[in-house]
Structure formats: C-alpha cells, structure tokens
C-alpha cells in the first residue's frame, strides 16, 4: 500500500505519470523537472529497490527515479565509446545484481550499475567529551554497504570512518 502504482511513459509529451491502482493521478515528471527543454523517454525498467530507470533518447542519458518520480541520478552523454550512449531506446535490469542492458540506435551495451555517493561534505564537530570529530555527510542513491576511510597521498590508510555500515537510500 502506498508503494504500488502504475507508471505511464508519454514519449512525445516528454513526461512520466504515476497513478494509483484505482486510477488516481499521483504525480508526474517532465522535461522541466530534469532542467531540459525536451525529453523523449523510451525504455523503462525497475531495479531491485523499485526505482525507475528510464532512457532519454533526446539527451543520450539514463535517468534514475524513485517511486515518487523524484530524480535520484542522471548519467550518460553522446558518443560511441564504452559507457557512452547513442539514442538509448530500451533498458533491462537484472534486479538483484545491478546489471543493465541498454538498447541503442545501432547497438546494445551491457553495463554494471551501482550505488553512487554524491554531495559529499566533511565538517568538524566539537564534541564536549571526546573533542573534535570529523563529520561525513552524503547522498546515497541506493541502499548499500558503505566503507569510508582516510588515506594519505601515498595510499596509506590513516583512519576508518565507516566500516560495512548499511545505509539507507538518501542517507
């Protein structure tokens, strides 16, 4: 309940609409929400966490959305190299292991996808008992195990910040 829905991709009007199972309109995503003048959404797939992945043929990108159609991430650019996109038209995701097949204008690619750590910020926090501490804030695009440490310029580990800590999406 509350999580189920029907998603309708309207390719030529550049929008994705979400409806409840009884047909009530719940929201939409448009080109404006992505900061673009035009989008041509084509292929859609769901991942293990029920995030929507949608191919955008006009921008040679793939957009990752949560169940409420909020943008979690966008990636891709025009090109013919590995990981570049050329008019993506379809997606398929192996839900448990983060493998994606993209169908494009003249080819198909097999890609590995995973969690992204974004908006990383460090700050100093003064704890009255133990003194100064380092605070790490970030946005996580998937529920994932996170390890974080500090290294010097030679790659020597100086401190462990997080070790095998399960973090929630958005964390």
Cross-strand pairs, 10: 15
**Token pair listed for 34:** 């992505």
119-137 burial by CB neighbour count: b if 16+ within 10 A, else e? Answer: eeeeeeeeeeeeeeeeeee
**Token pair listed for 151:** 């290294």
Residue 116: which of 97, 84, 144, 147 has the closest Cα? 144
Count, in order, helices (H) and strands (E) of the chain.
0, 14
**What single DSSP character describes residue 49?**
T
**Token pair listed for 74:** 């966008």
**What single DSSP character describes residue 39?**
-
Supply the pTM of this predicted model.
Answer: 0.71
Phi, psi of 106 (to 5 degrees): -130, 10
153 Cβ contact list (under 8 Å, min separation 6)? none
**Token pair listed for 52:** 């929507």
pLDDT in tens, the chain (171 residues): 446 789 999 888 889 999 999 999 999 999 999 999 999 998 888 887 788 999 999 889 999 998 899 998 888 888 887 778 888 888 888 866 678 888 888 887 777 776 677 788 888 899 899 888 888 888 777 777 777 788 899 989 888 877 766 656 554
Distance between CA atoms of residues 27 and 50, nearest Å: 17
Cross-strand pairs, 52: 46, 65
């Amino acid at each position: 309940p509350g999580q189920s829905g029907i998603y309708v991709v309207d390719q030529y009007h550049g929008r994705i609409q979400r409806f409840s199972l009884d047909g009530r309109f719940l929201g939409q995503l448009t080109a404006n929400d992505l900061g673009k003048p035009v989008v041509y959404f084509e292929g859609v797939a769901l991942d293990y966490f029920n995030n929507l992945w949608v191919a955008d043929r006009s921008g040679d990108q793939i957009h990752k959305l949560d169940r409420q159609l909020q943008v979690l991430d966008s990636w891709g650019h025009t090109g013919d190299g590995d990981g570049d996109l050329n008019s993506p038209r379809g997606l398929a995701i192996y839900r448990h292991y983060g493998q994606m097949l993209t169908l494009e204008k003249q080819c198909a690619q097999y890609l590995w996808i995973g969690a992204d750590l974004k908006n990383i910020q460090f700050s100093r926090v003064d704890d009255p008992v133990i003194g100064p501490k380092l605070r790490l804030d970030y946005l996580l695009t998937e529920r994932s195990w996170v390890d974080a440490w500090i290294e010097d310029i030679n790659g020597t580990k100086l401190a462990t910040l997080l070790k095998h800590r399960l973090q929630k999406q958005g964390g």
